Amino acid sequence: MWTNTSDVSIDHVVPLAEAWRSVAWSWTTAQRTAFANDLGYEHSLDAVTDNVDQSKGDQDPATWMPTVGQCDYAIRWVTVKWRWNIGVDDAERAALGNYLNGTQCGTAPVSLPTKMIIDASQQKWPLHKIVYDSTICELKPDSGGNQVPVQLSYERWQDVYNFQTPTPASTDFVKYPWSPTVYAVTFWPGGEDNWMWTPLSFEQWNTAGKPFPRIAGWIKGSYYYQWRTGAEIFVAGEDGIKHKLTGAEWAASGYRSFDYKVAEGFLKLTWAPEVARMTDVVNGAGRPLGYTEWAAEGFPTPSTVQRITGDQFYQDYGNPTVYYAGPNMNRPVTFAEWQAAGSPIPIVRNAPSGGGGTTPPPSSQPANPGDSVNCNSFNYWYEAQNWFNTYYPYYGDVAQLDSNNNGIARETLPGAP
């Protein structure tokens, strides 16, 4: 007999933590409250001594059973779980089987309590329809208690919901001022990380009722970056459109962090109009940049330089024409351009020697590679052009990479201007 009420605790036959781990995480708050205070079934709650309650904790029969009344406890455990549609794991099932196998605890009939939670397959959840297509979603709780959208099948909509009309999902429509793409932002519960961003097709925009989008400062999936050769910040949207940001536009984005392209950029000679797209600024690797590509990149301002690493001026023996070879161009230069470049002494090709033939190249020149490469030797055009620029000033087109003699090597390779 208990004489001190402080020695008595109310025990949940199936502990709250056990229920949560099994399925209660998916219940509504009202369902969890009803389970915790279940006075409708005599075996859901039990008065025990506090030392028993503390000994049991949140354990299931696989790791804890009372020292007496084990058969009654096993029956209460199973019926409570049946009442609330709570599953059992393998270890728990094996432990209960030791008592409820028809031998140890007998075969007396058990009265089942009223069912409180229906089968999970029949559970209903709030329905929301995505406004720009026909998708209907159930808002179900995940293991963390957050509501997440799960696409509803037609069969479940018919059999469980009887074609219940869904609520339109809360949606906003946004775009960048420099892009025609309209994005739908569906505000699923849980904050910004759970919002669904979708670039809309014309059909989807039409289905949504042709909404007029508001101008956004930031759209999810945007990539911010800066080239090595300038202070300008660019953004590339999910639709592939690139844009050079103004100070106000970057502020509107919330001053998003950006990647610094440490090797890449754009260079322009101070004395020539051609621009080079540099894949390696420090080592002088790059290729000519055409207007179409420049526009597609958002018109980055090139850094102006007098010379580019590895470029060359050359001329044929006996010919006054001076040529320039660099990543941005390979062409004759005017006298004014040559002067603006600093009047560099050009390399002279094919100078005759005393014995007839050509003068051997000085030690600073590369050795003649001969016809040692072809189109298959390069993956990209700029690789072929760099090879061409290295040897052409000394030996001409020894590998026959420039079939039309316009100074551009292997124009059929990817990346050719």
Q: What is the pLDDT of residue 267?
A: 98
pLDDT at 121 over 80: no
Local confidence band at 387 (pLDDT 50, 70, 90 cut-offs): confident
Local confidence band at 364 (pLDDT 50, 70, 90 cut-offs): low
Residue in 121, 154, 114 with CA at minimum distance from that of residue 136: 154
Integer Cα distance of 294 and 302 in angstroms? 10
Q: What is the pLDDT of residue 4?
A: 56
Q: What is the pLDDT of residue 405?
A: 81
- Cα→Cα distances 127→140, 223, 379, Å: 10, 34, 53
Local confidence band at 146 (pLDDT 50, 70, 90 cut-offs): confident
pLDDT at 14 over 50: yes
> Which residues neighbour 56 within 8 Å (Cβ) at sequence distance 6 or greater?
11, 15, 64, 66
Q: What is the pLDDT of residue 129?
A: 96
Q: What is the pLDDT of residue 120?
A: 66
Mean pLDDT of 172-178: 97
Mean pLDDT of 286-295: 95
Q: What percent of the chain has pLDDT over 70?
A: 92
pLDDT digits (tens, 9 = 90+) for 63-120: 999 888 888 898 899 999 989 888 888 888 988 888 887 677 877 788 888 887 766 6
pLDDT digits (tens, 9 = 90+) for 248-260: 999 999 999 999 9
pLDDT digits (tens, 9 = 90+) for 305-314: 999 998 999 9
Q: What is the pLDDT of residue 378?
A: 87
Local confidence band at 356 (pLDDT 50, 70, 90 cut-offs): very low
Q: What is the pLDDT of residue 353?
A: 58
Of the candidate ranges 50-54, 127-131, 226-230, the one whose mean pLDDT is the lowest = 50-54
> Which residues neighbour 80 within 8 Å (Cβ) at sequence distance 6 or greater?
13, 14, 41, 43, 44, 86, 113
- Of 233 and 43, the structure prediction assigns the larger pLDDT to 233
Which tokens is 358 given? 């050509």
3-state secondary structure the chain: CCCCHHHEEEEECCCHHHHHHHCHHHCCHHHHHHHHCCCCCCCCEEEEEHHHHHHHCCCCCCCCCCCCCHHHHHHHHHHHHHHCCCCCCHHHHHHHHCCCCCCCCCCCCCCCCCCCCCCHHHCCCCEEECCCCCCEEEEEECCCCCEEEEECCHHHHHHCCCCCCCEECCEEEEECCCCCCCEEEECCCCCHHHCEEEECCHHHHHHCCCCCCEECCCCCCCEEEEECCCCCCEEECCCCCEEECCHHHHHHCCCCCCEEECCCEEEEECCCCCEEEEEECCCCEEEECCHHHHHHCCCCCCEEECCCCCCEEEEECCCCCCEEECCCCEEECCHHHHHHCCCCCCEEECCECCCCCECCCCCCCCCCCCCCCCHHHCCCHHHHHHHHHHHHHHHCCCCCCCCCCCCCCCCCCCCCC
Residue in 233, 227, 225 with CA at minimum distance from that of residue 275: 227
Q: What is the mean pLDDT of the chain?
A: 88
Q: What is the pLDDT of residue 358?
A: 43
CB 277 within 8 A of CB 304: no
Please report where in the chains the tokens 């209660």 appear, as a residue. 24
Q: Compute, in degrees rounded to 10, the torsion defined by CA atoms 338, 344, 345, 346.
A: -60
Of the candidate ranges 29-43, 47-61, 258-272, 324-338, the one whose mean pLDDT is the lowest = 47-61
Mean pLDDT of 153-177: 95
Integer Cα distance of 279 and 379 in angstroms? 14
Which tokens is 103 given? 């031998």
Q: What is the pLDDT of residue 2?
A: 47
Q: What is the pLDDT of residue 240?
A: 95
Q: What is the pLDDT of residue 355?
A: 45
Residue type, 76: R
Local confidence band at 47 (pLDDT 50, 70, 90 cut-offs): confident
Local confidence band at 357 (pLDDT 50, 70, 90 cut-offs): very low
Mode of pairing for the β-strands spanning 127-129 and 136-141: antiparallel
Q: What is the pLDDT of residue 273?
A: 95
Mean pLDDT of 32-39: 90
Integer Cα distance of 153 and 58 in angstroms? 37
Local confidence band at 359 (pLDDT 50, 70, 90 cut-offs): very low
pLDDT at 179 over 60: yes
pLDDT digits (tens, 9 = 90+) for 204-247: 999 999 999 999 999 999 999 999 999 999 999 999 999 999 99
Mean pLDDT of 337-353: 85
Q: What percent of the chain has pLDDT over 90?
A: 50
